[in-house]
Amino acid sequence: MEVESTFIDGCFVIKPKIFNDERGSFFESYNQKVFEEITGLKVDFIQDNQSISSKGVLRGLHFQTGKYEQAKLVRVIQGEVLDVGVDLRPDSKTYKQHFSIILNDQNNFQLFVPRGFAHGFITLSESAIFGYKCDNYYHKPSESGIMYNDPDIAIDWKLDPSEIQLSEKDKDLPFVKDLKR
């Protein structure tokens, strides 16, 4: 496993070593010891989640607040997505900046999204199975989010806006400037 830093402190891209042969392929998707040695972070993942989405489905940008903040390690099991982490740490030098990456079932890259970030993804393939590990349990009263098309963040979601499908909840998220903290 190779771990690469991004320009946003605490946000990492994980690239597995993939072994291919005539039978198919094998890779180790996560190794806590290697992750900790390379990043210097001790993260205890306690919940795994999975979603299945069709093309154009945008899930995000979500986060939890207070003692229920979550770090996430995300990956695509099948298909392709554009995955995005937005730094919402007010004291960070990269506050309101985002990192995006294509995750798919060919590169098998993963993105580590630290606490204090909003996270979201859009499905670029006909469908995608998306999996993620969290270091804290989901807590409905602590859930929050920001609008996917916030002009202060200016994310290029790679699809025409007419193709984007949002949940009713995600249509009503605030812009960063309107967040109550």
Q: For the segment 39-82, what is each residue's pLDDT rounded down to a tens digit?
A: 999 999 999 999 999 999 999 999 999 999 999 999 999 999 99
Rg of the Cα atoms in the chain: 16
> Which residue in the list 98, 119, 132, 148 is annotated as catalytic?
132
* Catalytic status, residue 98: no
Does the global pTM surpass 0.75?
yes
Sorting pLDDT into bands at 50, 70 and 90, what band is 1?
Answer: confident
Q: Which residues contact 138 (CB under 8 A, 6 or more apart)?
A: 47, 64, 68, 70
- Residue 64 exposure: Cα atoms within 13 Å on the Cβ side: 19
Domains recognised in the chain with CATH numbers:
44-178 (2.60.120.10)
Quickly tell me which residue has 């989640």 as its tokens: 49
Which of 28-32, 48-52, 87-91 shows the lowest per-residue confidence on average (mean pLDDT)?
Answer: 28-32
Mean model confidence pLDDT for the chain: 95
Distance CA 153, CA 98 (A): 7
Helices (H) and strands (E) in the chain, counts: 2, 13
Scan for tokens 């042969």, then name that residue: 21
Q: Write down the catalytic residue from 30, 62, 98, 148.
A: 62
CA atoms of 129 and 145, how far apart (whole Å): 22
